[in-house]
Structure 1
Amino acid sequence: MGLFDRFKKNKTKLDEDSMKYGVALITRDDPKSGISEQYRTIRTNLKFSFLDPDFKILAVMSALPSEGKSTVSANLAVTWAEEKKRVLLVDADLRRPTVHRTFKVSNRYGLSNIITSSASTVDISEMIDKTEVENLDVLTSGPTPPNPAELLGSERLSQLLDFLRERYDFIILDAPPVDTVTDGQIVGTRADGVALVTPQGIATKDAVMRAVKLLQRVNANILGVIMNRFTAQEAGGYYGGYYGNYYGGSYYGTDDSSSRKGSKKRGKK
């Protein structure tokens, strides 16, 4: 029996925070839209960035908070699941989690519980929620701990990710911002590759370059930048165009300004 085989907790009852709106899932709610197609373009470009078959874990992060990284990570997870791959979206932002709100699942138990548990074995199946998106599961952050950086840097998390590698085709980490706390750097070292979300007209060159240097300092594998919040005019008149080059590719994502509006359709257990 392995380390993560037993540790049963009932997380079926939704907490109040889980009922708040998360980010907009346009790839689920409007899969034929131009923006949804651009997420598929991002997916394709990222896949060409890591041809190694052992590449399974992607961390999506931004330089600063509120730059759209949770919107990008959730929508990318949906597009990867469309390919009939077993996909897991992990909320590794232990300070400002959003995954439980987006998919309407409880956050009473999650990643922080697994890492801090004193139990000799943990049943991961009790912690992971299925969503209404076929092939897509989520692991929420769990309660906010007093020491997020220490938990994310623990050997327990390394063991967990190794365990999950054997059970999923692809894992996306919704990671903390890089410039504000050390959490982002730590998560970057846990992933096979990092995609940095950079909103047009909001992110500054200094902030982005500082994030890049911080990630380079810990030898994180930066795959590219996902540039979001473009208008049709800024994209050269083509809604959904992408262009440029930066650490292996520059991609056009979406604006998460509608994240507080949410959608009538939400993921179910």
Structure 2
Amino acid sequence: MSFVQAKKRVVLIDADMRRPRLHQVFEPPIGREADGLARVLAGKCTLDEALITGGDVPEGMSLLLCGEIPQNPSELLESPQTRKLLAELGERFDLVVLDTPPVLPVSDPLILARMADGVVVVARCQATTRAGLQRALTTLRRSEANLLGVILNEVDARREEAGYGAGYYSYHADPNAAAPHGSA
């Protein structure tokens, strides 16, 4: 949203083709629920048919939802159509944001990380373990991804100590929590 407010043209892509979520935040237009990234990569619809603007989508932003869930997400993402699509989006938008599945359980984020200009890992406070985050970062580094940084979300500022002392940077996590998500 900061880039949109700075008058940048932004496209947000739901590249989690196993458990997509963005359609729950931004409802697709009636009759176009199946159109999305998977259908564009499979050649079943055009990019312009799948892009969503207006409605609940902020001005200056476009969405490319997952659409129908494909049987072969990794194969679609590894196809030459993905590089071609990302190149076209790079020409049309100032910022292309790929929301991917978590880094550790599937190869999809690693496939996209190699195509992206940079990767930001999102970790959830009190849920992502330190070991899980370290494994995800190591995996991304080994895949030669351009790692830009880590965002820690869902931080409860009321629980944090005031100031910038050692307590401010303390990290507590549930060892049974899920792996961090990557966004390329």
Normalising by the residue count of structure 1, what TM-score does the alignment of the two structures yield?
0.56
Instruction: Please point out which of 84, 91, 110 is paired with 2:14.
Output: 91
State the shift of 1:127 in Å: 1.1
Instruction: Please point out which of 66, 69, 72 is paired with 1:147.
Output: 72
Counterpart for residue 47 of structure 2: 124
Q: One-letter code of the match for 1:117?
A: G
State the shift of 1:237 in Å: 3.4
State the shift of 1:172 in Å: 0.7
Q: Does 1:138 align with 2:63?
A: yes
Q: One-letter code of the match for 2:149?
A: G
Counterpart for residue 127 of structure 2: 202
Counterpart for residue 80 of structure 1: 3
Q: One-letter code of the match for 1:190?
A: M
1:166-221 C-alpha deviation (Å, 9 max, x unpaired): 11111111111101111111121121111111112211121111111111111001
Instruction: Please point out which of 108, 121, 125 is paired with 2:34.
Output: 108
Cα distance between partner residues in 2 of 1:136 and 1:208: 30
Question: What RMSD over aligned residues (CA atoms) do the two structures have, in Å?
Answer: 1.7
The range that moved more, 157-166 or 99-108, is 99-108
> Unaligned regions of 5+ residues in structure 1, if any?
1-77, 245-269
Q: How does 1:216-255 map to 2 (within 5 A)?
A: 216-237=141-162
Cα distance between partner residues in 2 of 1:201 and 1:86: 33
> Unaligned regions of 5+ residues in structure 2, if any?
170-184
Q: Structure 1 residues 145, 123: closer, same or farther in 2, change over 3 A?
A: closer
Cα distance between partner residues in 2 of 1:99 and 1:230: 21
Cα distance between partner residues in 1 of 2:146 and 2:159: 29
Cα distance between partner residues in 2 of 1:224 and 1:205: 15
Report the 3-state secondary structure (helix = DSSP H, G, I; strand = E; otherwise coil) of the residue aligned with 2:74. helix
State the shift of 1:234 in Å: 4.1
Q: Does 1:165 align with 2:77?
A: no
Report the 3-state secondary structure (helix = DSSP H, G, I; strand = E; otherwise coil) of the residue aligned with 2:136. helix
Report the 3-state secondary structure (helix = DSSP H, G, I; strand = E; otherwise coil) of the residue aligned with 1:176. strand
Cα distance between partner residues in 2 of 1:110 and 1:230: 32
1:84-132 C-alpha deviation (Å, 9 max, x unpaired): 11110011000111122211114311111111126xxx63211101034
Counterpart for residue 181 of structure 2: none
